[in-house]
Each structure stands twice: as C-alpha cells, then as structure tokens.
Amino acid sequence: MKNLSRDTTSPILTEEDKTFDLTLRPKTWQDYIGQEKIKKNIQIIIEAAKKRGESCCEHLLFYGNSGLGKTTLSYLVAKELGANIRQIAGPAIEKVGDLAAILTNLNEGDVLFIDELHRLNRLIEEFTYPALEDFKLNLVLGKGPMARTMEMKLPRFTLIGATTRLALLSAPLRNRFGATFQLDFYKQEDIEKIIQRSSHLLKLEIEPGAIELLAKCSRFTPRVANRLLKRARDFAQVEGQGIITANFARKALEFLEIDGLGLEIGDRKILEAIIKKFEGGPAGLQAISVSAGEEEDAVLDIYEPYLMQLGFIERTPRGRVATRSAYQHLGISFKNNQRLLS
Ligand code: ADE
C-alpha cells in the first residue's frame, strides 16, 4: 500500500485528508447516508443489548473496500452505545504485551476498534479468543518448566474489527464475531447526497451538474467523492468566484487524469497490462502488478474491486481476464487487440 504521495483517488486515507474526513464524518445515524440494511441491523443489535441492560453489544466485524465507512460506522456504534472508543491498527499490536496493555486499560463497556484486522499477528490473535468470549486474558509468566499461566479478568467490551480482506481472517477469529457486515459500493444517488452534505458543511456553493459529475467519478466511495469535491473547490476558488460549476469539476477531474467512469492512471495501466501484455488474460496477480508497476496490495485493495464492480475484470481460477467492456472503454478492438483508429 505504497505510492500514497501520488495517490489521487485512492480510497486509502492519507495524512492530508485526515482532518477533512473528521470534519465531514457523519456523527449521527440520520447523517449517515447509504448502507441502509447495515444501519438497520446494527441499530437493532444495539437496541436489543440496551433492552437487556448490557453495557456492550456483540462483537462486530466490518469488511469492505477502503473508504466505504467502516471507521465511521464504528464511531457511530460507540456513540449509540454511549461508550468510549479506542482505535488501533492490527499491525501495531506487535507483542502479546501490547494486547494485554490495550485490553487491561479498557473501561467497562468500551468499544475497541481494530482496523486492518487481517494484519494482526496470528500468535497474538489466539490470545484474543478468551478475551472475546469470556472477557479474560491468559498470560504466560516465565519460561520453560517454571512458566505459569495467570488469568486476568477484563472489563466487558465490544470489539469492532475492520478489514478489507475477509478471506485472510482465520475461521476461529471470524466465528467470534456476533455479526459480520459487508460494506458495498454506494449508489450514485447516495454519493450525490454525500457530496451535497459535504458541500453544505464546508459552506461551498455547488451546481447540480458538478455534483452529478463528481459522483459519477467517485468510484462509488464517499472518501473519494469528498476528495474530488476538495479538488473541484480549489479550481473554483482559484480560477472562478468560488462556485463549483460542472466546468470546474471537469477541470479538476482532467487535472487528476480521472476519466468519465472514475478510472485513474493506475486502473488504466492494469487493464492495458492485461490486454496488451497478456492478450486479455488470464494473467496472475503478480504478473499484472509488475507489468502495471503497482504494488500487489494496491491492485487487490484499490484498483481491482472497482474494476470488477464495473465489470471490466473477471477473476477466473487461472487469473484475471479483461472483459469486452474493458476493451470498449479503452477503445481497443476486442477481436484483434488492435487500438481502434477513430
Ligand atoms: N461522509 C463520508 N461517508 C458518509 C456517509 N455514509 N454519509 C454521509 N456523509 C459521509
């Protein structure tokens, strides 16, 4: 997951837009647009826990592409539970001692949010099982024949795990979550509402044509939509009177080299690699990454999900294949792989 400095539409959170995200992050269920089914299910889970008089709810697992709102939802859950939230990334927990420190510092009812859960060390993962099931931690003190285990009682807490790669979680870990939710790409109309809401919060004037255009190119991902809005705002403020017109939105997209379907250079390089170097595929992930000059993680987490959503790539047991629509979008003849002269 490198190349963040040149990333333009990558849904991965960069340092630059962290504050931006914080300003725009919905703080109530009413403010949260889209993912209706998930919202409803979570609300029921929380309501039920409250009715039972419990201080926390079942452990929840969110999976889906970056930028779709896993963190936002987690903060909303904590708010709804009236709980404090502690956030940590899976790879930041390096030792069992780190996990013990985090868990023993929780207060009754707290929400622990572990992002990138698939990158949690497997050895440490096993120590979470008793913590998740019985709210206790079994620590091993000493080494060899003198080693003893000590059981520590933990406060009751709710774990919220987030991952972009559900398949990388072990079955025992997955099974310890009471509910698992997949966050999907948003609908065009929801992204339009999100852009409208963000514009309102940022006190920006934006024309309907600009909203529609930015939404179309946002990879159906709120974080990308907000980032595009920011770029269009820059153009409107520097070159115009501050009003974001469709023309300024278009200028921003051109500047970022984003096409009408929201594809950026990286997407196009990947499609071209499959089509031109591997005759349309099937091609393996490693071969595609090398040819396109992109990290494998970036291909898996950023580019491929959207290319698959558009129906431009299909995954087969033998590798990735570019579809007819991908050829059409790039203006390459599907039959003989020759670029059409138009
Ligand atoms: N900003 C980012 N995600 C959002 C969402 N789902 N609803 C409203 N605003 C958002």
Residue 8 is a catalytic residue: no
CA distance 120 to 132: 15
Q: Is the CB of 197 under 6 A from ligand 1?
A: yes
CA distance 40 to 173: 25
pTM: 0.90
User: What is the tens place of the pLDDT at every residue in 146-205?
Assistant: 888 889 999 999 999 999 999 999 999 999 999 999 999 999 999 999 999 999 999 999
Q: Beta strand 179-182 with 313-316: parallel, antiparallel or unpaired?
A: unpaired
Cα 329 to ligand 1 centre (Å) = 29
Residue 115 is a catalytic residue: yes
pLDDT of amino acid 23: 84
326's CB contacts (< 8 A; 6+ apart) are 271, 274, 275, 307, 312, 313
Instruction: Among 19, 25, 65, say which to mutate for ligand 1: greatest number of ligand atoms within 8 Å of CB.
Output: 25
Residue 71 is a catalytic residue: yes
In the chain, the N- to C-terminal Cα span, in Å, equals 37
Picking from 85, 87, 72, 75, the residue whose alpha carbon sits closest to that of residue 33 is: 72
Residue range 61-85: average pLDDT? 95
Q: What Cα–Cα distance (Å) separates residue 331 from each residue in 105, 253, 306, 314?
A: 58, 20, 19, 19
Q: Is the CB of 69 under 6 A from ligand 1?
A: yes
Q: Residue 10: pLDDT band by 50, 70, 90 thresholds?
A: low
Q: Is the CB of 33 under 6 A from ligand 1?
A: yes
Domains and CATH numbers, the chain: 35-182 (3.40.50.300), 188-255 (1.10.8.60), 265-338 (1.10.10.10)
User: What is the tens place of the pLDDT at every residue in 290-301?
Assistant: 999 999 999 999
Residue 233 is a catalytic residue: no
Residue 70 is a catalytic residue: yes
Nearest ligand 1 atom to alpha carbon 69: 3
Catalytic residue among 8, 164, 221, 323: 164
pLDDT of amino acid 22: 74
Look over the chain and give the mean of its residue pLDDT values, rounded to a whole number.
92
Any alpha helices (H) in 52-177, and if so which ranges? 70-81, 96-104, 122-134, 171-175
List beta partners, residue 150.
139
pLDDT(342) > 50: no
Nearest ligand 1 atom to alpha carbon 34: 6
Catalytic residue among 223, 233, 251, 320: 223
User: What is the tens place of the pLDDT at every residue in 24-61?
Assistant: 999 999 999 999 999 999 999 999 999 999 989 999 99
The answer to whether 63 and 182 have CB atoms below 8 angstroms apart is yes
Residue range 251-264: average pLDDT? 97
Cα 231 to ligand 1 centre (Å) = 18
Q: What Cα–Cα distance (Å) separates residue 135 from each residue in 38, 107, 157?
A: 26, 12, 8
Q: Whose CA is nearest to atom 2 of ligand 1?
A: 222
Instruction: Among 27, 42, 72, 199, say which to mutate for ligand 1: greatest number of ligand atoms within 8 Å of CB.
Output: 72
pLDDT(331) > 90: yes
User: What is the tens place of the pLDDT at every residue in 259-305?
Assistant: 999 999 999 999 999 999 999 999 999 999 999 999 999 999 999 99
